[in-house]
């Protein structure tokens, strides 16, 4: 029990104030002698605030912060360890160990019981946390290694130009092409229609500007105007090299009878690669890829000798 302040009855108007009357207040404020002091009202403290272990005894058991202006000492079960001074920005329970790093407005708040970090305000700083709940606004910079799988892209709008980033090209030829028996030639095209990442080079090289997997489809109108019943072979060539096992033959049985060769190829290409269709005639005298102008006999719609479409599928 500390000393109680006395002499109050002797400190009155008209009385003589003695040194002993003042000494006890000097001793109480300087801490040289222990006194019980009971105060009321509000305080403005200028300078650092120090506390001794005896001051913190009751504060350790304090569980509720009435306002953000009050400091509390959170209990710490470890022995020989200093207590942690925390400031709460809102009312609520101060559990065994909550440490608040205030940012002047809200500040991050760590809850050890759930191992979560709540960050009401993020401005100009980086934050590490077990998890973040809520929405983020602003810009996030980093490297692609932070994306662990494609599922993080929610819609195609996250890709450059969306799905239109896949290449496509369509072409046809309005001339009749002829090859004699025993000879081969690249099938030519003279009329590009769509050139989006797929272009025509040197009239036969279907060239890509984007790396990916492509599907090439074609149709060709074939006939012979001389006897002999030739067989026309068509295959695929990539960057001037024939692709193994890409060949197919079409037998022309009747002179002046039209036949159609039509199938497709799927190839993996890198930017700058090109594909060509190549044809070869075996037997007879010659064969043709026949084009027809629009007229009454074909319904008024022209017939190209060859039609080619190449689309990027991946």
> How do the pLDDT tens digits run along the chain, 314 residues long?
678 878 777 788 888 888 888 888 788 887 788 888 777 787 777 766 665 544 444 444 444 434 444 444 454 555 555 555 555 555 565 555 444 444 434 455 566 667 666 655 445 554 545 555 566 565 555 554 544 444 444 444 444 444 458 999 999 999 999 999 999 999 999 999 999 999 999 999 999 999 999 999 999 999 998 877 899 999 999 999 999 999 999 999 888 899 999 999 999 999 999 999 999 999 988 999 999 999 999 999 999 999 999 999 99
Say which residue the tokens 């002046």 belong to: 256
CATH code, domain carrying 223: 2.60.120.40
- Report the alpha-carbon distance of residue 75 to residue 94 in Å, rounded: 9
126/227 same-domain check: no
Position 206 in a domain:
yes
Position 83 in a domain:
yes
Domain count along the chain: 3
What is the extent of the structural domain holding 220?
165-312
- pTM given for the model: 0.51
- Report the alpha-carbon distance of residue 192 to residue 186 in Å, rounded: 17
- Report the alpha-carbon distance of residue 19 to residue 206 in Å, rounded: 109
Position 45 in a domain:
no
């Amino acid at each position: 029990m500390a000393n109680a302040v006395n002499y109050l009855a002797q400190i009155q108007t008209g009385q003589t104030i003695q040194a002993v009357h003042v000494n006890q207040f000097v001793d109480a404020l300087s801490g040289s002698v222990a006194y019980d002091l009971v105060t009321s009202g509000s305080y403005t403290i200028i300078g650092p605030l120090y506390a001794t272990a005896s001051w913190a005894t009751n504060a350790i058991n304090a569980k509720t912060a009435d306002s953000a202006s009050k400091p509390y000492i959170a209990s710490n079960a470890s022995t020989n360890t200093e207590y942690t001074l925390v400031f709460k920005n809102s009312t609520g329970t101060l559990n065994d160990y909550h440490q608040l790093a205030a940012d002047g407005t809200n500040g991050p708040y760590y809850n050890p019981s759930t191992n979560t970090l709540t960050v009401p305000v993020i401005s100009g700083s980086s934050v590490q946390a077990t998890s973040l709940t809520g929405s983020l606004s602003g810009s996030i910079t980093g490297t692609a290694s932070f994306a662990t799988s494609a599922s993080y892209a929610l819609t195609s709008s996250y890709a450059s130009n969306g799905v239109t980033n896949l290449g496509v090209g369509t072409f046809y030829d309005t001339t009749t092409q002829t090859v004699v028996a025993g000879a081969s030639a690249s099938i030519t095209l003279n009329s590009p229609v769509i050139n989006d990442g797929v272009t025509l080079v040197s009239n036969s090289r279907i060239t890509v500007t984007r790396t990916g997997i492509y599907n090439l489809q074609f149709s060709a109108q074939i006939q012979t105007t001389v006897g002999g019943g030739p067989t026309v072979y068509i295959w695929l060539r990539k960057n001037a090299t024939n692709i193994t096992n890409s060949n197919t033959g079409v037998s022309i049985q009747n002179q002046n009878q039209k036949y159609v060769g039509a199938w497709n190829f799927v190839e993996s290409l890198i930017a700058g690669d090109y594909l060509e269709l190549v044809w070869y005639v075996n037997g007879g005298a010659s064969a043709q890829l026949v084009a027809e102008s629009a007229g009454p006999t074909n319904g008024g719609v022209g017939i190209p000798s060859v039609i080619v479409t190449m689309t990027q599928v991946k």
